[in-house]
Amino acid sequence: MQMQKMYAIYDDAAGAYMTPFFFANDLLAIRTFGSLVNDPGHLFNQNPNDFSLYCFAQFDSSTGEVIAEPPRIVRAGQALVNRQVDPRQGDMLSGSFPKPHSPYPEKEETK
């Protein structure tokens, strides 16, 4: 038995799901959807708020059987948009923050 998950993108503006596609797991589907959301030439990039990735079935590629599941949102398009990071801002995950700017010049040490 070779199970894959069946995914589709839901288009809020159209009020409908797009043609389903298959991946082995959510991470692979998220990676592909995220690439499209961040591709400047793709519709998902132009309106990321309108699109969400859903999983709604399992597919047995050896028998052709489709096992329906309740639609489950995997990731919203907006959540996958790559943000431009200002280097002056700190990184909350790593804990690295730039040195604060002081309005006073640093004093040189005298020996």
Q: What is the pLDDT of residues 51-101, one digit of tens each?
A: 999 999 999 989 999 999 999 999 999 999 987 666 666 555 565 655 665
**C-alpha distances in Å from residue 86, one per residue of 48, 92, 100, 101, 103:** 22, 13, 15, 15, 21
Residue 58's pLDDT is what? 96
Residue 23's pLDDT is what? 96
The model's confidence at residue 105, banded by pLDDT at 50, 70 and 90, is low
Domain chopping of the chain, boundaries: 3-80
Residue 26's pLDDT is what? 96
**Averaged pLDDT, 34-39:** 94
Residue 83's pLDDT is what? 73
Give dist(CA 37, CA 77) in Å, integer.
6
Residue 75's pLDDT is what? 96
105: number of Cβ within 10 Å? 6
Three-state secondary structure call for residue 7:
strand
The backbone region for 95, taken as left when phi is positive above 0, alpha when psi lies in -120 to 50, beta otherwise, is left
